Amino acid sequence: MVLAMAEVKGSKPTRREKAAATRERMIAAAQAVFAEEGYVGARMTDIAARAGVAVQTLYFAFHTKGELLQACYDHAVLGPDRLPPAEQPFYAEVFKARSGRAALTAFARGNGIIVARVAALDQAARAATTEPDAVEVRERSEQLRRAGYRAIAEHVAVRFGLRSGLDVDGATDIMLVLGSGAPYLMLREYGWDDERYVAWVADALATQLLARPR
């Protein structure tokens, strides 16, 4: 008996899938151009060329450079699973930890993944002090970051205790400094890898924040 073999063909991407892939490509191109040229120096025509699309396509999707910057921030912070930080696995680990150091290590590890994606972009936006759209996008990002960090600082304060003389606001400030993109980029320039950076942040936070660092 002769058996006929059916030809197996991969399904073609749908129009929605093609549009999503194009959007991803434009965001990736924008992140690269912002990092290389800064927000002020980045041109929509250059971003479109890097993404391999017409500039009209880029404007149709994002309308303004500021809106594109916001999309880049969202993409970097939410990650491949499109989850806000509070819904990402590391956040639950922080609140399940049985010691302050373990909680801050979980934070440093999860935050480090986000920082690696957003640091160069944030540096470009931070430098664009004369661009209202960039200032607005970054301020919104910092407000969200402060709120998320503060929730962790409050938990650490209640569950494990902060060092003498330090309140939740002060702890949040320290977390914002140590967990930002600037030290990450500087240490990368000095040859540090991500693992070493995360270990340093975790140890620095434990020393600076906790009543009992060890």
CATH number at residue 45: 1.10.10.60
Per-residue confidence band for 10, with pLDDT thresholds at 50, 70 and 90: low
- Residue 4 belongs to some domain of the structure: no
Return phi, psi of residue 8, to 5°: -95, 120
- Residue % of the chain over a pLDDT of 70: 95
- Residue 5 belongs to some domain of the structure: no
Q: Note the pLDDT tens digit of each residue in 41-89.
A: 999 999 999 999 999 999 999 999 999 999 999 999 999 899 999 999 9
- Residue 7 belongs to some domain of the structure: no
Position 38 scores a pLDDT of 97
- Residue 2 belongs to some domain of the structure: no
What is the total residue count of the chain? 214
Our CA dihedral for 109, 112, 113, 116, rounded to 10 degrees, sits at -160
Position 1 scores a pLDDT of 43
Residue 89 shares a structural domain with residue 164: yes
Q: 209 near 163, Cβ under 8 Å?
A: yes
Helices (H) and strands (E) in the chain, counts: 10, 0
Residue 198 shares a structural domain with residue 111: yes
- Residue 112 belongs to some domain of the structure: yes
- Residue 7, pLDDT > 60, answer no
- Residue 10 belongs to some domain of the structure: no
Residue 111 shares a structural domain with residue 159: yes
**Lookup result for tokens 């320290």:** 174
- Give residue 133's domain range: 85-209
Residue type present at position 152: I
Locate 124 and state its tokens.
């470009």
Short-list 151, 65, 143, 52, CA closest to 107? 151
Q: 100 near 206, Cβ under 8 Å?
A: yes
- Residue 9 belongs to some domain of the structure: no
Q: Which of 50, 78, 106 is the last residue of a domain?
A: 78
Q: How many domains does the chain have?
A: 2
Locate 40 and state its tokens.
């002020």
Position 193 scores a pLDDT of 97
- Residue 181 belongs to some domain of the structure: yes
Residue 159 shares a structural domain with residue 114: yes
Residue 194 shares a structural domain with residue 105: yes
pTM confidence score: 0.88
Residue 111 shares a structural domain with residue 168: yes
Assign residue 12 a region: left if phi > 0, alpha if psi is -120 to 50, beta otherwise? beta
Q: Note the pLDDT tens digit of each residue in 113-150.
A: 999 999 999 999 999 999 999 999 999 999 999 999 99
Residue 112 shares a structural domain with residue 198: yes
Q: Note the pLDDT tens digit of each residue in 147-181.
A: 999 999 999 999 999 999 999 999 999 999 999 99
Residue 28 shares a structural domain with residue 109: no
Q: Find how far residue 207's CA is from the centre of its chain.
A: 25
Report the C-alpha gap between 102 and 114 in whole angstroms. 19
3-class state of residue 10 by DSSP: coil
3-class state of residue 162 by DSSP: strand
- Residue 5, pLDDT > 50, answer no
Locate 169 and state its tokens.
């606001």
Locate 154 and state its tokens.
């409050």
